[in-house]
Structure 1
Amino acid sequence: MRRFLMPVLILAFTAPALMALWQKQDLPDLLAAFADSGELLQGCGDVPEAIALAEELRDRALRIERYMQSIDDRKAELANAEATLRARLRELKAQKSGLQSRRQGTTSDVRADIERLVALYDQMKPAEAAAVLTNLPADFAAEILIRVRPEAGARIIAAVEPRQAALLTAQMGARSVRKQ
């Protein structure tokens, strides 16, 4: 008799749950319906197993309800965090594009200044350009010599003292090696 009673009880309790799921009802509402022990125990108040089972079902339904609420709370927290992160990402992208545009503007200004300097040294007499370049830092002077016309650069280096010309030539070679 006992073996027959347990499957019947299981079927009696799971059939409404399966029907509700099949009809796409909300699971917490379904469990809350089972949690009302007054209806469950109607006519079974004298069976201790039924009372214990009803209490356990009620406790499980309450735990599930609390768990579902905590999941909903976490979903809301995650949505807020995601929105905050997306806003921060948009802000950072805007800052990055602003920096890039400023950097490009600065780079183009520097290139224009260097081109003016190179044009200036191209127009100078080789002896005058050599006198000025020997007083500049070697790496800067080498950069200018690399950018001037080859004929003008050759005349300027010829006008420089041999030791200084060797230093400038070494700097020009080192610059070319660094770019590779």
Structure 2
Amino acid sequence: MLSILALVFSLPAVGLIWEFQSYRLTDPFAAFAEPAGLMRGCTDIPEAVALADTLQTRALRIERYMESLDAKKAEIAKAEAALRERVAELKSQKAGLQSGRDGATQAVRNDIDRLIALYDQMKPAEAAAILTNLPSDFAAEILMRVNPETGARIIAAVEPRQAALLTAEMGARSVRKR
């Protein structure tokens, strides 16, 4: 008698376990994919039906939101690529401008070096006459760059008042460089 009772009670339990295992093996996400599977046996309860509808609506909203996030991610990636491209372009332009500036600066230095060489070759009295007619900051710059002996002879040939101004300008120039 006991074995018959055990068989009667165990058959439904084995059937439920078998159904649960086959359900899990076939599609583990079926409950999320099909709300109808969740509603099996509950269609006569209005609250359960309303809850299922609400959940389905929310699932659709989430799906749409995720799609919009993916679209925004794509837009951001596209904008990042455009920005990287623009930065690379600007860097190349900056390098071109820098090399152009370096060339222009070198040309100016070459011109100044030729001018200094010219003043080094002049007679001190002639150089002094020209320097007194130049702006004092420019004349001081020339005097600072010429050979010190030549500079001393040129300053000696300049009127004492003008020589004092040029010397003061040269000293101020040295202080500004520090």
Tell me the TM-score range normalised by the shorter chain. Answer: 0.7 to 0.9
Amino acid at match of 1:45: T
Assess if the C-alpha contact under 8 Å between 2:119 and 2:146 holds in 1: yes
Q: Identify which of 103, 118, 121 aligns with 2:119.
A: 121
Alpha-carbon distance in structure 2 between the residues aligned to 1:95 and 1:169 = 43
Q: TM-score, normalised by structure 2?
A: 0.79
Q: TM-score, normalised by structure 1?
A: 0.79
Amino acid at match of 2:90: L
Structure 2: which 5+ residue stretches go unaligned?
1-19
Is structure 2 residue 84 aligned with structure 1 residue 51? no
Alpha-carbon distance in structure 2 between the residues aligned to 1:85 and 1:30 = 45
Is structure 2 residue 139 aligned with structure 1 residue 141? yes
- Deviating beyond 6 angstroms after TM superposition, the runs of 4 or more aligned structure 1 residues are none
CA-atom RMSD, angstroms? Answer: 2.0
Alpha-carbon distance in structure 1 between the residues aligned to 2:112 and 2:61 = 74
Amino acid at match of 2:123: K
How much identity, in percent, do the aligned residues show? 69
Is structure 2 residue 154 aligned with structure 1 residue 175? no
* Counterpart for residue 132 of structure 1: 130
* Counterpart for residue 8 of structure 1: none
Amino acid at match of 2:148: P
Question: What displacement does 1:150 show?
Answer: 0.4
* Counterpart for residue 90 of structure 1: 88
| Corresponding residue pairs, total | 153
Q: Identify which of 86, 97, 102 aligns with 1:104.
A: 102
Alpha-carbon distance in structure 1 between the residues aligned to 2:42 and 2:31 = 21
